[in-house]
Amino acid sequence: MEANDSFYSLFPSPIGIIRLISFRGRLTHLLFQKTEKRLLAHVLTQIKAKSGSLPIEDTGLFQYWHNLLERYFCGERVIFNEPVDLMQGTVFQEKIWNEIAKIPYGVAQSYQEIANQLGMKKSARVVGGACAVNPIPIIIPCHRVVCQDGSLGGYRSGVQIKKKLLAIEGLHL
């Protein structure tokens, strides 16, 4: 029997079941199961191509993440600083995700502000595109990125989830 490099766990949250996936001990994906069913098939194909097998369930390996998420959903300011594996991102996307990861809990920044911080003044849409393919929302808090006029903008898992995540952090946009 071959050793498996990829595992998953389901986390019941107030906004629905979240699927956590890891590869070689590092978190690679956080999927809102209710809204991201099509994406899950794509992610599983990627992981199988990389590891040779599909992830198997192992809740014990994710206890650290479960604890952090539980605290987060209870309204605690949680810092997600455990190393992750952004296995699918381009160097450019990773640069954007790293900038988004710096947005503090309870603070919203615009797509344009993120673009400006990266020296890409005319690239707010590029920032939005990177948010749309963020493999680990909440951990990389793309829900904190909003339109310049203060409206929510989009969210891969649905604007209602974005709104709920912002509300957990005390932001009611």
Nearest-angstrom CA–CA distance, 132 and 154: 8
Single out the residue of 5, 20, 111, 121 nearest to residue 62, CA to CA. 20
Given 74, 131, 142, 147, which residue is catalytic?
142
Nearest-angstrom CA–CA distance, 148 and 12: 33
Catalytic site includes residue 131 = no
In total, the chain counts a number of residues equal to: 173
If one counts every other C-beta atom within 10 angstroms of the C-beta of residue 1, the result is: 3
**Residues 59, 96: contact at Cβ < 8 Å?**
no
Active-site positions read 142
